[in-house]
Structure 1
Amino acid sequence: MPDASKPLFSRPALAAVMLLSTLAIWLLNLTAPSTKLPTPIIKTWSTESGIPVTWLSQSQWENSNKLEIRLVFNAEYSNPAIIRATLDMLLGDSLPLSTASINQRFSPLAARALSHYDTDNQIIGVTMNSEPDYLIPSLSLMTRWLQTPDFKPRSFDQWQRQQQTALSAPQSSWQPFSAKPVADFSDLSLDQMKDYYQSLKNAAASIIIIGHMTSESEERITRALNTISQDYRRSPPNPPIMQSETMNPNNQIVRPASTMGAPWQSQSAVELKPISSVEEWLSLQIWGTDLVATLNQQAHIDFVQLALNLSVQPPWVWWQTQYRNTLTLEPNTIQEANSEASMKSLALLEPLPSTRDPEHFQALMDAFKAQLEQQTLSPTWWSDIATQVTHEGGALTLENFAADYQDAITRFTIEDYQSALETLLKPSSYQEIQVYQ
């Protein structure tokens, strides 16, 4: 039996053990996921009508009262004008016997309603305070609102007049790869709004809850969602549309017959392959950041805005370019801006700095990680991931994303980035609209 009065290790031996322990911890830190990125907890169940519910929470939210609820539908998308009109009317004065918009009614309860749609889904959401004094009346209002919304004729007439006024102004939005033309808002009727809202209820895909819930608030929210969805019917996820159905086979640059002067604005888009992993999502974040920075450095460009649509059918990236006033440009710069290939070349054909310079790539990655450490603490960020990046039945689900994103970001390399871009981007689908001064 060892003598308890004597140390188990001599001083040199103890120093060696401490050094080995330090090295082991250092190696673990190199291989372990970033501890600054939270690990979400996911719980799933179904409403009484069979609509799947996913609740995402994390320990960092235990002292937070922000709660996000998203109702996701995948009704027919053949006429985007009807979708927009229905959602606009729903967020208007759609409570019976009320002239206040739904958000005017939610405001005193520290809550806010929102909507969103893309080629995959239509989304109705409410951001609310989870404290009982706010949660209980918010759920009551949400239930009354969504069960039997009142689409009023006078409100619809006013909405139509607003749309006609907006149409007379220069348009900055553009829907690329659209298989069917967008209907004129003047052709819509109030009955179409009512019918489309019913079609939403018949095509419920899922319900997403993001934030911290106590057992009591979980019970209250579950009851409210059961009531709201009692006449919902579940619809399977929309299957991906084949490329030939979605994109214009003629790669084109649309410009007016007269092209005097330099371009004033252009809108560009390119189709993407549906993302199937966190690495592919991450690649698009880095690529989009570098693309905007690279374009903004061009002498003839004033600023660039970029948006990703990561729907399943089909996903695409869109960017709008505002050009500098020709009075401030050199003649050779005007000629460069007029080049049909210049925008496509800068965006898709010439390698971006992040694809060829490891240091530039790493700088973008470090900046993105720092940003992500803040974003992942936001329930709203996770709500967008749940409804606009991941898709039920798709290759990348919310569960996959939550489980994989820490490791994927930790081990992501420039080689992974280069490989993903080669797969994701489809330069042959490039489309552009140019507006000239």
Structure 2
Amino acid sequence: MADSNKPLFSRPVLAAVMLFSTLAIWLLNLTAPTSSLPTPKVERWTTDSGVPVVWLNQDAWQNSDKLELRFTFRAPSQPSALVDTTLAMLMSDALPLSTSSINQRFAPLAAKAHSHYDHETQTIGLTLSNEMAYLEPTLALATTWLNNPDFKPRTFDNWQRQQNSLVSMQQNLEQLLFFDEAPDPSNAPLSLEQINRYYQTLKHSASAIYVVGHLSDEAKSALDDTLNKLTRDYRLATTDAGNTIEHVSAVIRKGTGTLYQTHSALAFTPITSIQDWISLQIWGVDLMSALNKSPSVEFVQLALTLSPKRPWAQLHIQHKQAFTDPLPPEENGEINAKVMPFIEAKQFVFAHQVPSANDDTLFQTHFSTFKDHLEQQILSPSWWATLATQVTHEDGLLPLQQFTQDYKNAIESFTIEDYRTALQQRLLSSSYQEIQIYQ
């Protein structure tokens, strides 16, 4: 993916186990928190071209120079290789008349560019300083870069030769889960013309701009002027109702011999409340904790994509060499107790079988881990920027302003009954797709 490589999870050392989600990295051995849960202020305006701007600030950031800027889009997401390549090209040497990457140019200005995408949204981000000595030249460089990027043929050819197999598997799972068809095996090559056209499509599919951090009056004025220049050619995205997930759970087997890898996908219904968000975080920690105790697992990777219309989870398991085929599950969809350990992953597809939903002590342990981690991350502008672009969304059912106002009370009053209810409403067990790789 264009933004970063996914971390791997090693079973033997539980303290090193990490859960990657679109919101946060979980650490299972955190110490007690010392910070409280603040209520950030949210201010809104629009650019001259009509793009919503959402500014999130809190008192604790007044002495911090860190600023997060995110441009979000709702452009078509298929083929996903086109999205991935366009954003990767943008993050490379896309400045006109330059062989340096954009981040080599941003580095002396204490700034960094990054991107993210999923099957519904695309994000271009900047982490920068709010001090005017750095802010003004950073914004000037960003304007040159984003208004007319130069996608160079040599860079494009190099990228075409470097395809990530994990990204390809993610694309396979997305295709099975959301587009009701097997992945296209032809791998038709892209063209530079397609990259240029897709970037223009992004500009005509704007969703919102998020600004997270402290701004002086002078800095806010400079940023406002820049956003007007950057978005003069932008158009708002049209509403996409999304696909209805009506699949029957299925397993695809590839290869022969010993089971080597398992790649799974599970769709959720769209999250509508803070309780839903909390529940899926706890569900993910419970899943990772259980899998890392399995004697059949070498390492495991879980990603939660909490997109506005079609959220989902993807799971990648590396099995030990000595592992053999599992027994099939019972016909009614329940998990057979005699099934080999790797199938424990499917146990989490059914809300009533999730261990932490049936064990109050286990629930409290995972919930405590969640709160500890949250209280350590909540003062970071980067955390809030990720939340705004990958969880709440401008056109989602859980608005950012509602989250900032209500999340503290939701956490303080959250119970195992809330957790069970959320899992029953959000887990779409019939959507479960699994690809087994044998060697």
Q: Is the pair's TM-score, using the shorter chain for normalization, greater than 0.5?
A: yes
Per the alignment, residue 254 of structure 1 pairs with: 252
Q: Quote the Cα distance in structure 2 between the aligned partners of 1:388 and 1:340.
A: 30
TM-score (norm 2): 0.83
Q: Quote the Cα distance in structure 2 between the aligned partners of 1:288 and 1:396.
A: 20
Aligned CA distance change for structure 1 residues 218 and 326 (closer, same or farther; 3 Å): same
8 A contact 1:42–1:57 mirrored in 2: yes
Larger relative helix fraction? 1
Q: Secondary structure at the match of 2:143?
A: helix
Per the alignment, residue 368 of structure 2 pairs with: 366
More divergent stretch after superposition (173-182 vs 350-359)? 173-182
Aligned CA distance change for structure 1 residues 322 and 149 (closer, same or farther; 3 Å): same
Q: Quote the Cα distance in structure 1 between the aligned partners of 2:322 and 2:155.
A: 44
Q: How does 1:223-372 map to 2 (within 5 A)?
A: 223-244=225-246, 249-256=247-254, 258=256, 260-261=257-258, 263-326=259-322, 342-345=344-347, 348=350, 351-372=353-374
* Identical pairs, percent: 45
Higher relative contact order (CA 8 A, sep 6+): 2
Per the alignment, residue 63 of structure 1 pairs with: 63
Aligned CA distance change for structure 1 residues 398 and 149 (closer, same or farther; 3 Å): same
Instruction: Give 2:251's aligned amino acid.
Output: I
Shift of 1:349: 6.7
Shift of 1:108: 1.0
Per the alignment, residue 425 of structure 1 pairs with: 427
Aligned CA distance change for structure 1 residues 105 and 384 (closer, same or farther; 3 Å): same
Per the alignment, residue 100 of structure 2 pairs with: 100
Aligned CA distance change for structure 1 residues 58 and 138 (closer, same or farther; 3 Å): same
8 A contact 2:266–2:349 mirrored in 1: no
Per the alignment, residue 137 of structure 1 pairs with: 137
Larger Rg: 1
Per the alignment, residue 157 of structure 1 pairs with: 157
Q: Which runs of 5 or more structure 2 residues have no equivalent in the other structure?
A: 1-33, 328-336
Q: Quote the Cα distance in structure 2 between the aligned partners of 1:109 and 1:230.
A: 25
Q: Quote the Cα distance in structure 2 between the aligned partners of 1:349 and 1:204.
A: 36
Q: Quote the Cα distance in structure 1 between the aligned partners of 2:231 and 2:348.
A: 48
Q: Quote the Cα distance in structure 1 between the aligned partners of 2:253 and 2:341.
A: 12
Q: Secondary structure at the match of 1:36?
A: coil
8 A contact 1:205–1:237 mirrored in 2: no
Q: Which runs of 5 or more structure 1 residues have no equivalent in the other structure?
A: 1-33
8 A contact 2:178–2:243 mirrored in 1: no
- Give the aligned length: 392
8 A contact 2:308–2:392 mirrored in 1: no
Aligned CA distance change for structure 1 residues 346 and 242 (closer, same or farther; 3 Å): closer
- Deviation per CA, 1:101-157, whole angstroms, max 9, x where unpaired? 101111111111011111221111110011111111111100110111111122212
Aligned CA distance change for structure 1 residues 201 and 210 (closer, same or farther; 3 Å): same
Q: Quote the Cα distance in structure 1 between the aligned partners of 2:109 and 2:129.
A: 8
- Deviation per CA, 1:65-111, whole angstroms, max 9, x where unpaired? 11000011111223211111111111111111100010111111111
Per the alignment, residue 206 of structure 1 pairs with: 208
- Deviation per CA, 1:138-180, whole angstroms, max 9, x where unpaired? 11100110111111122212222233xx56x996545331416
Instruction: Give 1:391's aligned amino acid.
Output: H
Q: CA RMSD in A?
A: 2.6
Q: Secondary structure at the match of 1:175?
A: helix
8 A contact 1:91–1:113 mirrored in 2: yes
8 A contact 2:35–2:376 mirrored in 1: no
Q: Quote the Cα distance in structure 1 between the aligned partners of 2:340 and 2:369.
A: 34
Aligned CA distance change for structure 1 residues 341 and 126 (closer, same or farther; 3 Å): closer
Q: Quote the Cα distance in structure 1 between the aligned partners of 2:155 and 2:277.
A: 40
2:173 to 158, 172, 175: 175
Instruction: Give 1:241's aligned amino acid.
Output: N
Q: Quote the Cα distance in structure 1 between the aligned partners of 2:219 and 2:414.
A: 39
- Deviation per CA, 1:344-373, whole angstroms, max 9, x where unpaired? 236537723311222221122122111101
Aligned CA distance change for structure 1 residues 35 and 349 (closer, same or farther; 3 Å): closer
8 A contact 1:291–1:347 mirrored in 2: no
8 A contact 1:210–1:382 mirrored in 2: yes
